[in-house]
Structure 1
Amino acid sequence: MAHQLTHRTTAEFPAEQVYAVMVDPDYLKARLERLGGPGAALLSHHVDANGARYELRHGVDANVVPPMVRSLVSGDLVIERVETLVPTGSGRYDGTVSVRIPGTPASADGALRLADVDGGSEFVVDASVTVKVPLIGGRIESMVAEQIEGLLAQETAFTIDWLRQRG
């Protein structure tokens, strides 16, 4: 059974400005350098008037991977993440996120929404984390969801700091 997670953040900046930063390759590379872990990289990137699609690779040092998750992989954990965002109206962007951990039965898929709200914008990630391992999969899903929540919080802080410094 999948573990559902919803991550919601607000910023004092309009959605258009947040979107421009979120899809900027220099920003993505800087964020990965700071938060991406070993082997982090921007694997592909495409932005045009119809929206954006980019693929990221994160690394997690084996020493910080929870033991139950470590039982699924040997060595560092590699996480591949594909995100899309498209303009769907004035001050609104919708998209998808897909996360894979090669060599494991773990994945996450979901929807992204960035929209103007009073005083700025709101970014929402609704995702479903799945780990297909009999008996312990649910516990691992909860751990993976916690790690995703933590990463999203760090990325949000990085993004807001980026916007404030360059806004």
Structure 2
Amino acid sequence: MKFQHTNTYAAPIERVRAMLNDPAFREQVATRVGALSCSAAFGNGKLVVREEQPVQGVPAFAKKFAGGATTVIHTEIWDEAGTSATITLETPGKPITQAGSVALTEAAGVTTHSYTLEVSASVPLIGGKLEKLVADLTTAGLVTEGQVGAEWLASHS
């Protein structure tokens, strides 16, 4: 299942790129989404964020796959210009994969941060339901990322 999400920031691309690759920003987003733990690192164009997420409010059909907590390893590998990246969201031991791209564009001092992701669930019969659930949960996290990002940029000017 393919889905897209876009956050828009009233800041130039350089500031947004610096924020997105700042481990402190990623840890703040993780705290806001309720992560149990988070570590983030950026170097040589590669961002890796590892979070332990509690499993809450999951429908009955997904509970046996979700367990009590889920590790998410979020990796972005940026191009030399710092305007596009490949992205993977891995959940070790779970039948879900997410991969796609990230893009940053700027117009008149406003930066658009776009995600295009493909979610795949390797579970017969309910794979489509799991993909929709994961896409919805990921989108909710990206909405929160946009809110934290706007606050971060306002307070780090």
TM-score, normalization: structure 2?
0.90
Q: Which residue of 2 aligns with 1:76?
A: 69
Equivalent residues of 2:55, 2:68 under 8 A apart = yes
Tell me the CA shift for residue 160 of structure 1.
Answer: 1.1
Equivalent residues of 1:110, 1:125 under 8 A apart = yes
Q: 1:67 to 1:93 in 2, by over 3 A?
A: same
> What code does the residue aligned with 1:86 have?
D
In structure 1, list runs of 5 or more residues that go unmatched. Answer: none
In structure 2, list runs of 5 or more residues that go unmatched. Answer: none
Tell me the CA shift for residue 68 of structure 1.
Answer: 2.4
Q: Name the CA distance, whole Å, in 2 between partners of 1:27 and 1:5.
A: 24
Deviations 1:92-142 (A, max 9, x none): 600011011111110100000001123411111001000010111001100
Equivalent residues of 2:23, 2:39 under 8 A apart = no
> What code does the residue aligned with 1:31 have?
V
Q: Which residue of 2 aligns with 1:127?
A: 117
TM-score, normalization: structure 1?
0.85
Aligned residues: 157
Equivalent residues of 2:102, 2:114 under 8 A apart = yes
1:105 paired with 2:95, answer yes
Q: Among residues 14, 17, 21, which one is paired with 1:16 in the alignment?
A: 14
Instruction: Specify the SS of the correspondent of 2:56.
Output: helix
Q: Which residue of 2 aligns with 1:32?
A: 30
Identity of aligned residues (%): 23
Q: Among residues 43, 46, 49, which one is paired with 2:43 in the alignment?
A: 46
